[in-house]
A and B are shown apart, each in its own frame.
Chain A
Amino acid sequence: MQKLELIVIGNGMVGHHFLEQLAASPACERFAVTVLGEEQHLAYDRVHLSDYFSGQSAADLALGTAVQYQEWGFELRLGTRAAAIDRAQKTVSLDNGEVLNWDHLVLATGSYPFVPPIPGNDRAGCLVYRTLDDLDQIRAEAEQATTGVVVGGGLLGLEAANALKGLNLDTAVVEFAPRLMPMQVDAEGGALLQDKIESLGVQVLTGRATQRIEDGEASRHRMVFQDDKVLETDLIVFSAGIRPRDELAREAGLDMGERGGVVIDDQCRTSDPSILAIGEVALWNNSIFGLVGPGYQMAKAALDTLTEGERTFAGADMSTKLKLLGVDVGSIGDAHGDQSSGTKLYRYLDGVKQHYRKLVVSADGRRLLGAMLVGDNSYYDTLMQYYSNGLDLPADPESLILPVSEGGAPALGIDALPDTASICSCHNVTKGDITQCIHDGKASLGEVKEATRAATGCGGCAAQLKDVVDHEMAALGMEVSTDICEHFAYSRQELEHLIRVEEIRDFQTLRERYGQGLGCDICKPTVASILASVWNDYVLEDQHVGLQDTNDTFLANMQKDGTFSVVPRVAGGEITPERLIVLGEVARDFNLYTKITGGQRIDLFGAKLNQLPAIWQRLVDAGFETGHAYGKSVRTVKSCVGSTWCRYGVQDSVRLAIDLENRYKGVRAPHKLKFAVSGCTRECAEAQSKDVGVIATERGWNLYVAGNGGMRPRHADLFATDLDTETLIRTIDRFLMFYIRTADRLQRTARWLENLEGGLDYVKDVILHDSLGINADLDAQMARLIEHYQCEWKTTLESPERLKRFRQLINNDQDDPNVVFVEERGQIRPANDTERARLIPSVDI
Chain B
Amino acid sequence: MLLKVEDLSIAFQTKKGLLEAVRDISFELSLGQTLGVVGESGCGKSITNLALMGLLPDTAQVSAKNVNFDGLNLFDLKESQWQKIRGKEISMIFQDPMSALNPSFKVGFQIEESLKIHEPTFTSMERKKRVISLLGQVGIPAPEERINSYAHELSGGMSQRVMIAMAIACKPKLLIADEPTTALDVTIQKQILQLLKDLQEQYEMAMIFVTHDLGVVANIADHIQVMYAGEIVESGAKNRIIHHAHHPYTSGLLSSLPGSQTPFRGKLPSIAGIVPDLFSRPEGCQFAPRCDYKSEKCQAHPPLETREVSRIRCFHPINEESLK
A binds B: no
